[in-house]
Amino acid sequence: MELNVLKAKSHDIRLVAFDLDGTLLKSDHTISELSLLAIQKLRDKGIKIAIASGRIFTMLEAYAHALGGVDFVISVNGGSIDDLNTGQSVERKYLPAEDAKHMIDYCLNEHLDCCLLTRGPSYFTKNSRRIERFQKYNDLAKTLGLKTIELKIYEGMIDDVNHIEKILIQEMNINKTHKIMKFVDQQTALTYTSSDKNLLDVSSKGIDKGDALKKIAAYMNIRQDQICAFGDYDNDVSMFEVAGISIAMGNASKKALDAAVYVTESNDHEGIAIAIKEIFSEVIRWIYEKLFLMIFIVLTL
């Protein structure tokens, strides 16, 4: 889609949704100053802001806090939608208990690195490679005075099986990954997507980020073409299929790149701010003025 067409469409945007990892976050898991400034100016224009991630809600609070003024949080790839302005849940779906049990038994028997994610504790198999990432998040949450996530090791069925929002499997062997996918397809009523390389997100059917955006549009009483979505991976494609403006990061997967109408720079090279500069021109004019002032102050100190 030509840039002048996108600029014209941007005047009608009422909601901007950002994927987190690989999109809003740099590789060091921080949000750049320019991204923060750009998003703040979008809010000043009355545009609502959403975070849309494969992470559980409790692992998104610190980033919502850092951004400030986030209106909606889409977690576990659309399984949960929270309105932060009211503190109410717009949508929350759990894995059917019997399917969850079936999946847990399979993962334990196959000795898979399998995380069970709930709104309360997160459960990890012994020697899981994923637990370190949750521990780092807890360190960040502590520095911000936010609630940490309870981390538990499991070796059998958990008591909280009725409240699992997502099962996250990390598998480095592609043949084993295909075997897991086949099991999900043939032995359960669940579905899966990929949120990053070597990761398989297993959840209830009918759940994706795009469907969550549709629900928020209905909740806000806006049209779907009044949504702009940023993303970088396969689980963001459903958002791109719904949004009026879809923007892939320069570091995006092939599926995401093919589905987007615009490609910006990578998450480590100010892709968010640059896209807003190109498409929401009035916004970025203010950002460059702000950046020039910051540089001037530093040079005169």
- Do 88 and 223 fall within a single domain? yes
- Do 215 and 70 fall within a single domain? yes
Length of the chain: 301
Decide if pLDDT at 233 tops 70: yes
Q: How far apart are CA 170 and CA 82, in angstroms?
A: 27
CATH number at residue 181: 3.30.1240.10
- Do 163 and 238 fall within a single domain? no
Among 204, 238, 267, the domain-final residue is 204
- Residue 287: pLDDT band with limits 50, 70, 90: low
Q: How many other β-carbons are positioned within 10 Å of the β-carbon of residue 291?
A: 15
- Do 162 and 257 fall within a single domain? no
Rg (CA), the chain: 20
pLDDT of residue 298: 52
Model confidence over 81-140: pLDDT tens digits?
Answer: 999 999 999 999 999 999 999 999 999 999 999 999 999 999 999 999 999 999 999 999
Parallel, antiparallel or unpaired: strands 245-248 and 199-204: unpaired
Query: What domain range includes position 126?
Result: 97-204
Residue 296 in tokens = 């001037």
pLDDT of residue 4: 84
Average pLDDT of the chain?
92
Among 159, 178, 204, the domain-final residue is 204
Rounded to two decimals, the pTM is 0.88
Among 183, 204, 225, the domain-final residue is 204
- Residue 164: pLDDT band with limits 50, 70, 90: very high
- Quote the number of domains for the chain: 2
pLDDT of residue 296: 54
- Do 115 and 149 fall within a single domain? yes
Residue bearing the bigger pLDDT, 115 or 300 = 115
- Do 73 and 42 fall within a single domain? yes
- Do 284 and 239 fall within a single domain? yes
CATH number at residue 21: 3.40.50.1000
Decide if pLDDT at 294 tops 70: no
